[in-house]
Amino acid sequence: MNSTILTQLYREFFGAEPTKMEKLPASGSAREYWRIFNEEKSYIGTINADLRENKLFIEYSKYFKARGVAVPEILCCAADNSAYIQEDLGSYMLLDILTAERHKRELSEHTISLYKKALSELLKMQFAGDELDYSNALPRPSFDKRCIMWDLNYFKYCYLRLAAIPTDEDLLENDLEKLCSIIESQPANTFMFRDFQSRNIMVKDEEVIFIDYQGGRKGPLGYDVASLLYDAIAEIPETQHQELLNHYISELQAIHPKMVDDFVKSYHHIALVRLLQAMGAFGLRGLHEKKQHFINSIKPGSASIAKLLTTHLPGEYPELEKIFVK
């Protein structure tokens, strides 16, 4: 990949040459990012060989932007969707704020306020997707039984196997099938961001803007909330986790009160699925690919699962308790 396609795209849209282009550090994906400058401002150009993924991001962005959701504006894209230029949201993520507060026992009031903004905006996004075409969503239009089992098998084969953790296969399967059944029974007719975490929430002028939602599909409300609040990087204290969860529930109660009971009953089960999926990623990227960031996430991720099982789901999943509760 090179920047030629972005230069041409910029030229066609703005009718001029960019004054400067800077390649940004590689992210966890194969996408290539460039910051493109003119004399007044800057933009972000993206090049990605995965045309289906690009197409989804562009379509989702235009759809949600038109409905007032905090997502970047797509200015122009190549005819084949191989590249696109969007507004520049800066380089400041919610993750950066968390990293700066890593030494503190609790999140600051400022950070809590940003989390609440993110949860409020998430709720808007979840219910704005009622007219969205999910037929081309990747890998499937909804977070159904197959997707749930993919997440659980990811945990089993990419974490348990790679970490050589002994377990009773049959008893473990009982736990995973029970968990899948509970999640599958929940309403899944709203937009699910899928990877709603601090590194995908930009902060600009004290407002939050979302990125990397191309994996979105229909799913249960609790998945994204759990993704954010149980993020291993954040290690949010229990009292503040509950404060943020109550904030989301209160706003859900105000607009869709009939959905609150299902959300509350299933939340911790859905959180368990999300945490197990994350352990699969830590195993694959950390234990197999030797990426230190993911290796460092294994211990706090395991601790979060242990606490979730003992505090909110005691006795529900006995084989998982044997694995994580020491």
139-156 pLDDT, tens per residue? Answer: 999 999 999 999 999 999
Q: Which residues of 138-174 are buried (b: 16+ CB within 10 A; e: fewer)?
A: eeeebbeeebbbebbebbbebbbeeeeeebeeeebee
Residues 168 and 186: their CA atoms lie apart, in Å, by: 28
Going by C-alpha positions, the residue among 265, 263, 264, 297 that lies closest to residue 278 is 297
Q: What is the pLDDT of residue 1?
A: 53
Spacing of C-alpha 121 from chain mean position: 14
18-41 pLDDT, tens per residue? Answer: 999 999 987 666 789 999 999 999
Q: Which residues contact 202 (CB under 8 A, 6 or more apart)?
A: 89, 90, 92, 93, 94, 208, 209, 210, 211
Mean of per-residue pLDDT scores for the chain: 95
Q: What is the mean pLDDT of residues 191-207?
A: 96
Q: Tell me which residue has tokens 């790679």.
A: 162
Beta strands in 48-118 (DSSP E): 74-77, 83-87
Q: What is the mean pLDDT of residues 34-59?
A: 96
Q: What is the pLDDT of residue 3?
A: 85
Q: What is the pLDDT of residue 104?
A: 81
Q: What is the mean pLDDT of residues 193-212?
A: 96
DSSP, res 211: -
- The structural domains of the chain, ordered by start, are 4-87 (3.30.200.20), 94-324 (3.90.1200.10)
Q: What is the mean pLDDT of residues 78-82?
A: 95
Q: What is the pLDDT of residue 99?
A: 87
Q: Taking CA 246 as the corner, what is the angle to CA 112 and CA 60, rounded to the nearest 5 degrees?
A: 75
Judge whether residue 202 has pLDDT over 70. Answer: yes
Q: Is 0.85 surpassed by the pTM of this model?
A: yes
Q: Which residues of 175-202 are buried (b: 16+ CB within 10 A; e: fewer)?
A: bbeebbebbbebebebbbbbebbbbbbb
Q: What is the pLDDT of residue 54?
A: 96
Q: Tell me which residue has tokens 């400041």.
A: 92
